[in-house]
Amino acid sequence: MNVHPQVLMVIIGCMVVTALPRILPFIIMHRLQMPQLALRWLSYIPICILTALVIESTLIQQDRRVDLDYETLTAIVPTLATAVLSKSLLATVAVGILTMAALRLLSIFAA
Amino acid sequence: MERFTVMPSSRKTAPLQLTTFMQGVRDCLPTLLGYVCIGFAAGMIGVASGLTALEIALMSGLVYAGAAQFIMCSLLAAGSASSVIIMTIFIVNARHFLLCATLAPSFKDNSLLHNIGIGALVTDETFGVASSQLAKGATLGRAWMNGLNLTAYLTWIISCVAGGLVGYRIADPQAFGFDFALPAMFIALLIDQLRSTERSRLKHRLMLVLCMAMSMYILSYVVPSHLAVLLSTLIVATIGVMTEQ
């Protein structure tokens, strides 16, 4: 149980570059009054970024090509349905994991 | 702008005041299954990449970023240069600037030190929970945000280390579908956002979702996917402002 010096250096470097974008907005906006337009723009960030992260999981970048990840796309269908119908984060995650486990167990999209 | 200051007329409940630490802990609970699964998977992949449990604990405690930790592990295992890994993680996590810029106005009356404490622990998921509450017209308190953040933080570290400790016993962590907990959580948070949107604006928001899909697909041909996430968000949020009624 030890820590390799290079790993430690990478972890500390990554800590700094991860913490900066998290902390800076709180420092910048501590006194600064945000203009209305900027606040309106920021109000779109939640929907945009969450959509982007979901779409990212369905794309495979390979050899200058972008392919659709059909396994993920299939797992999204019952997950999305659960999210809409149950309104429960917990149920959505549970259905998502179980669906993905089932798809992989049955090797439906095995390469 | 309206959604931050005025209650949507369709909603009957009084504006929520989210003030207590315990309420923040409670509001974090639904996300914990996601954290446990993803953290467990991250720990297992850490071991598979040749990291020790202590290194995994340090990584999850100091970097504290789900997707980034998976990428760090694979780059370390591939023997990439430290500078390349750090630069990549910067790009992967730069989106937190936008998340924190969205949340920061709610906390502008706090001391700088308190706000740094809040900002340091913002994740996609705690942001998702907090912005859902904002969309419902709630006021976010410092203690509430700390309760939310710290619950997520501790759960994440424990899950990563647990995954690291049992990881070498499991040959293929992906077989359990744990990695899909991440997109599943994002889907639930996205649907929650859309549900809080006023009916008259829903069509506009769904149009943006469609724009986002196109933007992500096209940009993924020219830039790494994490950069595509960042650029698409900048583009589509701008489209959102320009096309709103």
Confidence bin at B171 (pLDDT 50/70/90): low
pLDDT of amino acid A29: 82
Read off the pTM. 0.83
pLDDT band at residue B40 using 50, 70 and 90 as cut-offs: confident
Q: Cβ separation of B177 and A104 shorter than 8 Å?
A: yes
The helix (H) or strand (E) run that includes residue B139 is strand B139-140
| Averaged pLDDT for residues A50-79 | 94
pLDDT, residue B13, reads 56
Specify the long-range contacts of residues B13-17, CB closer than 8 Å, at least 24 apart: B15/B137, B15/B138, B15/B139, B16/B133, B16/B136, B16/B137, B16/B138, B16/B139, B17/B138, B17/B139, B17/B141
Cβ separation A80–B97 shorter than 8 A? no
How far is the alpha carbon of B139 from chain A, nearest alpha carbon, in Å? 15
B196-244: pLDDT as tens digits: 888 899 999 999 999 999 999 999 999 988 889 989 999 999 999 999 8
pLDDT in tens, B99-112: 999 999 999 888 99
Query: Helix, strand, or coil here: A2?
Result: coil
pLDDT at position A75 is: 96
pLDDT greater than 50 at residue B139: yes
Mean pLDDT, chain A, rounded, equals: 91
Min Cα distance A64 → chain B (Å) is: 6
At B79 the pLDDT is 85
Q: What is the mean pLDDT of residues B169-191?
A: 82
Instruction: Identify the top-confidence range among B33-42, B134-143, B175-184, B203-212.
Output: B203-212
Minimal Cβ distance to A7: which of B55, B127, B188:
B55
Q: Report the pLDDT value the prediction gives residue B1, as an integer from 0 to 100.
A: 38
Q: What is the pLDDT of residue B173?
A: 64
On whether any CB of chain A is under 8 Å from the CB of B238, the answer is: yes
CB contact under 8 A, B37 and A93: yes
Q: Which residue, B74, B61, B138, B66, is CA-closest to B96?
A: B66
| B189 at interface of A, judged by CB pairs closer than 8 A | yes
Using a CB-CB cut-off of 8 Å, the residues of chain A touching B33 are 90, 93-94
Q: Is A39 at the interface with chain B, CB within 8 A?
A: yes
Given A44, A53, A54, which is nearest B241 (Cβ)?
Answer: A44
Tokens of B175: 């077989």
| Interchain pair A52, B55: CB under 8 A | no
For position A2, what pLDDT does the model report?
A: 83
Residue B208 to residue A61, Cβ atoms within 8 A: no
Q: pLDDT-derived band of residue B17, with 50, 70 and 90 as boundaries?
A: confident
| pLDDT at position B6 | 42
pLDDT score of A94 more than 50: yes
In chain B, what residues touch A66 (CB-CB under 8 Å)?
217, 220-221
Residue of A nearest to B32 (CA): A90
pLDDT band at B5 (very low <50, low <70, confident <90, very high): very low
Residue B201: list chain A partners with CB under 8 A. none
Q: Which residues numbered 117-146 in B keep a CB inside 8 Å of some CB on A?
A: 118-122, 124, 127-128, 131-132, 135
Set of chain B residues whose Cβ sits within 8 Å of the Cβ of A49: 95, 98-99, 124, 229, 233
Q: What is the pLDDT of residue B14?
A: 63
Rg (CA), chain B: 19
Sorting pLDDT into bands at 50, 70 and 90, what band is B9?
very low
Please report the pLDDT score of residue A1 as a whole number: 66
